[in-house]
Every structure is written in C-alpha cells, then in structure tokens.
Amino acid sequence: MRYDAAPDSRLDMAPTPRSRNARVLKVRRVAIDTHRENVAYLHRDCSVYRTEGFRALSKIEVTNGRHHILAVLNVVDDDAIVSRNELGLSEPAYAQLAAKSGARVEVGHAVRPESLEAVRRKIAGERLDQDAFRRIVADITDNHYAKTEIAAFIVATGQNELDRDEILYLTRAMVESGERLDWQEPLVADKHCIGGIPGNRTSLLVVPIVAAHGMPIPKTSSRAITSPAGTADTMEVLANVELKIADLRRIVREHRGCIAWGGTARLSPADDVLIAVERPLGIDSQGQLIASILSKKVAAGSTHLLIDIPVGPTAKVRRMRDAQRLRKLFEYVGDQLGIHLEVIITDGRQPVGNGIGPVLEARDAMRVLQCDPAAPMDLRQKALRLAGRIIEFDPDVRGGQGFTIARDILDSGRALEKMQAIIAAQGAPKHPCAPGRLSFEVKSPRSGTVTGIDNLQLARIARYAGAPMAKGAGVDLFRKLGDRVRSGEPLYRVYAEFAADFRFARELCVQGTGYTIGRASDVPPVFVQA
C-alpha cells in the first residue's frame, strides 16, 4: 500500500463540481480500527479521485441520503483494499455512516470548519470567548476536525494557558456537547482525583461505601490519558463499564451508585475525543484537566464533588503553591457551574496501594473491600478519608463523623455487598482477567531504606509493559517509602502479556528502577495529610 504525500496547500484547490452521479461510489468496509477518526480509502485510479481533485490527507464528505460524515482521505494502490469504483471506510466511519457494504454513496469536498479560525487565533495567543469555544467543541463532537486539527487545539490551549473564564467557557461547551443527567435529588455526590499517582484507585472503594450509606454517587470516569490505568480501565476488569444512559439511570436508582465510562453514555463526548488525542501526545494541561473533570461531573448530574489533588516530587502537581492555585481554579469554575465543590490536597510522594495496572489495582481494591489482611493499608486509609469527607456532605452527618461511618460500613461488609451488587447490575465480564503470563522481578542494588519512589518512572514501566490496553500488565510493588531492604531483595515485579512489551519494560527498568535506596533519615517527610 502506498500513500500520497500531502500536497502543497497552494495547489489544493477543488475543481468545478460535476454532476452528483459522477461522484457516486460503492461503500466497502475496511476492517481497520482508526480509533475515533473517520478515514476513507480511494484507489489512485478511481475516476472520482482524479476528476474531483482529491488529495491524500484532505477531508471529504460522504453522504448516503440519510447520514453524512466527514473523513480523512487515504489514497491506495492495492485493489485488495478498494477497487476503482469503491470507497473504503474505516470501522468508525462505517459505523457512523450506517450504510451497508455495496451501498451507493456520494463523495465530495468537505467544507473547512469555520471554527478553525478561532483555533488559529488561540495559537496566536488571543483570548477566546464563550461562542468560540462552543463552535470549536461542537465541530469536534460532530467529527468535523481531523486529529491534526484537534491536536492543534490541544497544543494551543495547553501552551497558551487558559485563564479562569476560558476554562469556564470550555467546560460549559463540553457539557453542552452531549447528554446531561438530572437525578431529581438535592444531593448527588462524586469524587475525582486529578491523577499522576499510580495505583490510586480509591474510587472503587469510595463508591460502594458512599452508596451503602444511601447517598447517590453515579461515578463516570475517563480511561487513562497518561497513566497505566484509569478508573474505567480498572473497573472494566470487574464489570462492564460501557453503560447506556438508561442502564446507568436504572443501576443508580436501584443501587445508589455505579462506576462507568462516560463515553458510551455520551456525557461530555467531546472530552473523550480530546482524550484520544491527548493520550499519545502526553498532554494534560491545567485548563483542559479542569474542563475535562468538571464537564463530566456536571453532565452526570453531580451536585456535590470532592477533588483529590496529590502533591509530591514526582506527582502531576509537585509544589504546594501549584496545588493551591489549581484548587482556586476548581473552586471558581465549580461555583460558576453551581456545584458544591471541595478540594483535598493529599500525599503524592509514592504510589497508593501495591498494584499498578488494571488487574493489579482491581485486586488491591477487592482485598480492601474483603478486609483481607493482605490489603494495602495506605489505599484503605485514603479511601476511608475521602469517603468520610463525601459522607459529611450529608446534612444529617456532623463534621468529623464521616470517617467513622465510612470505616463501619467497610468493616461490616456492607461496602463489599454493595460493590458486588453494582458489579452484578453492570454485568460481570465473561472471562476473568489475571496478571500477565510473563513477569520479572527488579531487585535492590544495595541494602538500606527506600527513600524515594519515582511515580513517573513506575507509571512509564507499567505502560511499557502494556497497561492499560493489556489488562494484566503492570507493576506489583513489594516495598514502599521507609521500608528496609537488603541487597538482592525484590523491590517489585513487572507483568506483561506480550514478549515485545516484556522486553521494552525490562530495558526501561535497566535505565532506572524508579527506587532510591539510602538512609532512613533521608525519607522525605509527609507535608500534607490524606
């Protein structure tokens, strides 16, 4: 297969339109998953390709009378992919057009979205208003942007820092891009961690505890952006997370809680499109982060929200003053959106729990719910503190009583029962997941005390091992800050599903284990409380 090079923009001019019949082709399904991007395939010798003046990587419009889509064009020379009278469509494009193979469609040049002018202005450093963000987000949601254009928007809003009003405008636009739930209740709770700490899977504990208390908590989560696992990725090990709106409503009304991926329910769908591009770019700016989190929560109908901001030397937020600034931005946007929002700053010096990666994180959470002696105590304590703060949103609960109530719910087994009910309602997976079949241990090079754990390096190792796409991939920690270790003793074990991922992860561990071994006096102090 050969692709045309991108043309000189000065020569990329559409010819005079011809009759509609001259632009009609047969649809062919091309079994390529282009991950949320519509891609079309034309043979180089196709008459429409030549007469219409199409170019590779340009956008075309495809219409079947009932639906129309915009797609990025790839030009091929292989008859096995598409013949000269066919238009190939990638899996997302084929599904969106809702046309059967062999059906006739009309193709033409796509009109360039007018909102791209606003993106160019943002690249130049201009401030955008509410209408500009609405038009940009609407075009992104309707698949009018190619991935390169979405990337331009992400880089522009990341590099040229959004002010607090622009963050508010972006958040509102993202809420308006999809469905919005209304639970008809005065108090609907939720929590969210901004990320950056591997293994910090407190939502799988907070949701059943709070739901068992009787407070509605419809937890909608995104998949991982730069981490080895998001909440949705981890919950997917235990239950189906791709819930339709009707199913989500039913489960929350019956069980008071759920843990679902927001993409299927079309809650802030623009966020999922942006995340799909942010992930490979590794970009997660403050403005986009706030808009992403709050748009999902508002769309899910939350009235009360707890935000967890971990702070540490290798966390996403590394200085207390940055955390405080981020807290003020969250509070400002939350107030404008009518959400009761509280921010808690927590200890981000090291991973929370033992497992990093979907299967290992799900294992840790279930051990805590089962009150297993092998359960990681730090994960248990942090989850109880967060759940306690949310329970205190209840006007019938006195301040300071939330932790005790949360602990009683967990220790009594009520949280486990609630989690089992939620899993059953969402649908347990047909094939249970297990840690990857390939593994190796990383050992301490010397004796001493663990004085530092690099969150970024361990997350990178887990991702190299295949997480979160390979559910069983990840890192299982044996030592935490302050632990004594002898030379040659294992610090952690890495799991992988595939040989290539196994090799990449092993090579990365050779470059750096992510652990610092020194004297007990060198352990950094805790300067924030979980």
Helix, strand or coil for residue 61?
strand
* Helix, strand, coil content of the chain in percent (nearest 5): 40, 20, 40
Q: Is the peptide bond before 208 cis (omega within 30 degrees of 0)?
A: no
Rounded CA-CA distance 199/186 in Å is: 32
Spatial distance between the Cα atoms of 95 and 97, rounded to a whole number of angstroms: 6
**Separation between Cα atoms, residue 153 and residue 123, nearest integer Å:** 8
Hey, how many other C-beta atoms are within 10 angstroms of the C-beta on 77? Answer: 12
* Owner of token pair 């992400």: 154
Q: Are 216 and 208 in contact (CB under 8 A)?
A: no
Alpha carbons 452 and 348: distance in angstroms, whole number: 12
- Give the number of other CB atoms < 10 A from CB of residue 486: 10
φ and ψ at 439, to 5 degrees? -155, 155
Which residues have CB under 8 Å from 139's CB, separation 6+? 113, 115, 145
**Which residues are identified as catalytic?**
284
Number of residues that this document lists for the chain: 530
**HEC profile for 343-359?**
EEEEECCCCCCCEECHH
CA distance 85 to 236: 42
76: left (phi over 0), alpha (psi -120 to 50) or beta: beta
Cα separation, 124 vs 118, whole angstroms: 10
